[in-house]
């Protein structure tokens, strides 16, 4: 915006300078010409009284010499009876021009070599017309014109430079508050909730800064209220969890009892994690550093061991693939486990008993894909299913599970897609970007990633059979 203001001011000032300087320069040139010919007219007028008194050649020569013959003054008298025509001084104008002035009886100018001549008619006592010729060189006509043009150019250049300097200062005064506002918004978006901007600059930007600071205060207050609410709600779960833990302890031995006690213990840990996270006033927005994240293969194996017991009870066939070697992704272990539990919980909740399912992990060059597929009835409206809080309409569905998965994938620059599974039901594809630097698919690197993603997904979607 700063350079835009400078360019606009430069263009406007240049147009104004041209609009005024060029006509003014032409006026100066015309004034110099008029001044030169006015001097020539005065020289011609100095000879006119002598011509009206006498036509004697000797006397006229003395008059012409005293009037400035050396500067180009000449007199042309026509023939009169016995007296021949008299030409005093150098003749530069053509004979036809002299005859035309004598016939018309009014002065005129004509161009000659090196300048112009003024032809001034003078009536003689004999009734004839004499012509006084005054030579005006081009240097005299242009005297002072170049200096005037140079002065006008210097003044115009000074005006342009001054206007650019003023526009630059005004642009800085406008751009700096706008830049600070943009930087504050960027910092707030990165999670630095203490970001504020100075409330100065032009009135509009000052009002925008006031609104931004007020918005930031509201965001901080809303986040605080949300953390307190999450902590309070989680704390209320402790009582029913205690009852569940006591009941689970009384179930005795057996696989089902051990599974129930493990689930209650895990639920207690998750509630404790929620309370600690909600009470933490520092937003977790920093990017994962080198070595951060988890082994996706190990997390998948652990969660499948948990869900396999329930799958055997319900007669479900299941398969897991791609977990035979470590697969590092830039997300926390607990977050990935929660996302897998949300997807596998949806499989058990929304498909009939005996429905097969599978979990596949694919390690690409710059991304890791986790596929959770089943042989159920599928999802008729994937877009609606991805909308936060929509749910499926079934009892116990809040619509937050897929949104949790989506936000986890997008935190790495990836995404989540819902499509048709090769098993005949739903396939949820979680794309984790390994560099973790913003949304994938930007610029040239994004185009390469999209091409790789298309090749990778086409390979992943080849039919597979469950063991």
Read off the pLDDT of residues 162-207 as tens digits, 9 standing for 90 and up.
888 888 777 777 778 888 888 888 888 877 778 888 887 778 888 8
**Residue-wise pLDDT tens digits, 127-148:** 788 888 888 888 877 788 888 8
At residue 428, the pLDDT reads 93
> What are the angstrom distances between the C-alpha of 147 and each of 150, 153, 158?
5, 10, 16
Which tokens in the block code for residue 248?
A: 């689970």
Continuous segment of H or E residues that includes residue 110: strand 108-112
| Alpha carbon distances (Å) from 368 to 46, 356, 365, 423, 436 | 106, 23, 8, 21, 11
Structure-token pair, residue 197: 């901007």
- pLDDT of 403-443, one tens digit each? 778 888 888 889 999 988 888 899 999 999 987 544 444 44
CA distances from 449 to 158, 360, 455 (A): 54, 21, 10
d(CA 323, CA 154): 79
Q: How far apart are CA 47 and CA 75, in angstroms?
A: 9
CA distance 123 to 234: 122
Q: Where are the alpha helices (DSSP H) in 190-254?
A: 203-236, 238-249
DSSP SS3 for 266: helix
Q: Is 463 left (phi over 0), alpha (psi -120 to 50) or beta?
A: beta
- Describe the crossing of helices 238-249 and 203-236 by its angle, rounded to 10 degrees: 30
Give pTM, 2 decimals: 0.42
At 49-66, the pLDDT tens digits run 777 777 777 777 777 777
The dihedrals phi and psi of 143, each to the nearest 5 degrees, come to -65, 120
Contacts of 47 (CB under 8 A, 6+ apart): 63, 64, 67, 73, 75, 122, 132
For residue 457, how far is the Cα from the chain centroid?
35
- Reply yes or no on whether the pLDDT at 463 is more than 50: no
Band of the pLDDT at 279, cuts 50, 70, 90? Answer: low
Return the percentage of the chain with pLDDT > 70, whole number.
Answer: 80
Please tell me the predicted confidence (pLDDT) of residue 213.
87
Pairing, β 318-321 against β 357-363: parallel
In which region does residue 96 sit, left (phi positive, over 0), alpha (psi from -120 to 50) or beta (all else)? alpha
Q: Please give the pLDDT value at position 70.
A: 54
């Amino acid at each position: 915006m700063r350079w835009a203001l400078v360019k606009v001011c430069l263009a406007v000032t240049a147009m104004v300078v041209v609009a005024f300087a060029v006509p003014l320069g032409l006026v100066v040139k015309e004034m110099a010409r008029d001044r030169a010919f006015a001097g020539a007219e005065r020289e011609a007028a100095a000879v006119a009284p002598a011509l009206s008194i006498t036509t004697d050649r000797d006397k006229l020569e003395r008059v012409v010499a005293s009037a400035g013959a050396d500067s180009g003054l000449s007199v042309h008298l026509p023939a009169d009876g016995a007296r021949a025509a008299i030409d005093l001084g150098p003749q530069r104008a053509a004979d036809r021009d002299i005859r035309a002035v004598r016939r018309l009886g009014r002065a005129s100018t004509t161009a000659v070599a090196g300048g112009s001549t003024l032809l001034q008619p003078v009536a003689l006592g004999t009734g004839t017309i004499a012509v006084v010729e005054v030579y005006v060189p081009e240097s005299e006509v242009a005297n002072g014109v170049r200096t005037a043009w140079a002065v006008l150019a210097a003044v115009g250049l000074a005006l342009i430079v001054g206007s650019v300097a003023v526009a630059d200062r005004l642009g800085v005064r406008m751009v700096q508050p706008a830049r600070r506002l943009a930087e504050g918004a960027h910092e707030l978006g990165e999670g630095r909730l203490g970001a504020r901007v100075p409330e100065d600059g032009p009135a509009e930007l000052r009002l925008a800064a006031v609104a931004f600071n007020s918005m930031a205060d509201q965001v901080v207050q809303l986040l605080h209220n949300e953390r307190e609410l999450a902590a309070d709600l989680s704390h209320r779960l402790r009582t029913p969890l205690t009852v569940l833990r006591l009941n689970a302890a009384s179930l005795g031995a057996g696989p089902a009892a051990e599974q129930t006690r493990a689930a209650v213990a895990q639920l207690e840990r998750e509630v404790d994690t929620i309370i600690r996270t909600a009470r933490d006033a520092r937003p977790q927005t920093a990017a994962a550093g080198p070595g951060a994240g988890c082994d996706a293969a190990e997390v998948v194996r652990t969660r499948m061991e948990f869900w396999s017991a329930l799958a055997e009870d319900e007669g479900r066939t299941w398969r897991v693939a791609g977990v035979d070697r470590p697969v590092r992704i830039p997300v926390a272990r607990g977050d990935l486990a929660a996302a897998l539990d949300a997807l596998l919980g949806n499989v058990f909740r929304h498909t009939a008993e005996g429905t097969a399912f599978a979990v596949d992990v694919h390690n690409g060059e710059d991304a890791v894909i986790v596929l959770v597929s089943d042989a159920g009835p599928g999802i008729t409206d994937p877009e609606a299913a991805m909308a936060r809080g929509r749910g499926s309409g079934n009892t116990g569905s809040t619509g937050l599970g897929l949104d949790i998965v989506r936000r986890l994938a997008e935190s790495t620059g990836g995404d989540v897609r819902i499509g048709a599974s090769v098993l005949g039901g739903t396939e949820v594809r979680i794309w984790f970007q390994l560099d973790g630097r913003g949304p994938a698919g930007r610029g040239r690197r994004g185009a390469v990633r999209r091409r790789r993603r298309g090749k990778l997904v086409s390979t992943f979607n080849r039919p597979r059979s469950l063991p």
